[in-house]
Amino acid sequence: MVTQAGPPDPAGGPSTSRRRRRLRSRPAVRDLLDEALAGVAARPTRLILTTLGTVLGVAALVGTVGLGQTAAGQITQRFDLAAATRVVVQPDDKGGQEGEAATQLPWDAPDRIKRLNGVEAVGTVSNLEIGDDLVQNVTGLDNGAGKALQVMAGSAGLWDAVRATLQTGRFFDQGHDQRADKVVVLGKHAAERLGINRVDSQPAVFIGDEPYTVIGILESVSGRAELNDAVIMPNGAARTAYDLESPDAVEIRTAVGAAQLIAEQAPIAIEPNNPSTLRVDAPPKQGAVRKGVESDLNALFLLLGAVALLVGGLGIANVTLLSVLERTSEIGLRRALGAARRHIAVQFLVESVIVGFLGGLLGTAVGVILTVSVSWIRDWTPILDNRLAFGSPLLGAFIGLVAGTYPAWKASAIQPITALRGT
């Protein structure tokens, strides 16, 4: 019920219709933002001090996650294919879990393993007890060194399983094994010790009094390094000459990523009744490697970052609350100028969000610089998730939002007459 009528007077008694329209109008969002920005900009020193906690917290988080990602990237780059696909099964010295006696590996263990999906190659390997026998070349030289040479036995599949490569000659095969041929393959160092570097003339080595024909010399093996220092004969010969009862271990080469699965299945395949009597050595999960590296250092820094963020949030809340108390007269004035409670609340909330956002922005910059610097020093390739870089300032803003809620509510609850009283 507006009772005003007649032409507007010079002092600005505006027309009824304009009054009506303006009564419904609201301050633009942009204006409230401007007011908040001006409020923040008015106290630059305070702004810096207020953001400090958030800067530290976000910097710690970004730095930690960034360095974690970078380090994880390095691990992947150095990812050792050979180690990650090697599974070794051998009898558990301590016997089974339920107290069964230690088992012997069956000779057909490779055949049983070969059936598993994900197995690329499999073979047995054993150390031979040769007693007082010496390993000598034809000339009978190298007596002293002969004692140190290990004699081993393997199946034909061993070579593929340990990724063996040859300097010269050939590996023994299933035929040699079955016929119990007296042939040997020399490890790289063993060949040097025995002074043998060619096999085309079919040189022989003596183990005890028995001659064995050298058919190949190894260049390299992976995993089972002792093969380099050994004289290796097929299982067939070992069973005949040295009564080898069972293989010492089964070497398995798996497809990439299948090692864990094979490690679970292999004992059951070999020893379905007592799988627990077998010990399995398998590479740790890829994820586990990465986690292991990250968790050591990162848990600490993430915790540190979280604490810094909490402190940062409390800092913002504290300073904003202080600022509210200090600015009661401003609050009273704004209310007198027509601000509703929520306008006051929004202003202080936005101020606090701006402070948090700036802290987050600065903290992200510091964290990125940290990551890049450390990477540069360690000669790493810095890896940083884009989402992290862009999300962190928002995290700061969110902290500002949470921190500013209570002070903003406090500010909006201040009675204008209280705020305007006195000074």
Partner 1 sequence: MTATAVALPAPVVEMIGVRRFFEGPPEVRAINGVDLTIGQGEYLSIVGPSGSGKSTLLHLLGLLDNPTGGVYRLDGVDTMSLRERRRAVLRGERIGFVFQSFHLLDHRTVLENVALSMVYVGVPRRERLARARVALERVGLSHRMDFAPTTLSGGERQRVAIARALVAEPSLLLADEPTGNLDSANAEAILQVFDELHSEGMTLAVITHDAQVSRRAQRQVRIVDGTLQW
Binding stretches for partner 1 (CB under 8 A): 1-6, 9-14, 19, 22-28, 30-31, 34-35, 38, 41-43, 329-330, 332-341, 343, 415-417, 420-421, 423
> For 163-209, where are the E strands, in sequence order?
165-169, 183-186, 204-207
Given the structure tokens 């070794």, which residue do they identify?
88
User: Considering only CA atoms, which of 92, 97, 75 is closest in space to residue 284?
Assistant: 75
Pair 255, 118: CB distance under 8 Å: yes
Query: Nearer to partner 1 by C-beta: 35 or 177?
Result: 35
Q: Return the number of the residue (1 or 377) whose C-beta is nearest partner 1.
A: 1
Residue pair 65/383 in contact (Cβ under 8 Å)? The answer is no
Three-state SS for 224? coil
Decide whether 17 or 423 has the Cβ nearer to partner 1. 423
Distance from C-alpha of 21 to C-alpha of 216, rounded to nearest angstrom: 101
Q: State in angstroms the smallest separation of the CB of 34 from partner 1.
A: 8
- Residue placing its CB nearer to partner 1 in the complex, 10 or 99: 10
What is the nearest approach in angstroms of partner 1 to the Cβ of residue 379? Answer: 50
Minimum separation from the CB atom of position 343 to partner 1 (A): 6
Q: Which residue has the tokens 């094979």?
A: 262
Segments of 243-353 assigned E as strands: 249-254, 278-281
| Phi, psi at 313, each rounded to 5° | -60, -45
Report residue 123 as tokens. 């073979």
CB nearer partner 1, residue 42 or residue 101: 42
Q: What is the distance of C-alpha 237 from the center of its chain?
A: 47
Cβ nearer to partner 1, comparing 46 with 290: 46
Alpha-carbon span 171 to 165, nearest angstrom: 9
Element at 55 (helix H, strand E) = helix 44-77
Cβ nearer to partner 1, comparing 205 with 319: 319
| Residue tagged 């940062």 (tokens) | 312
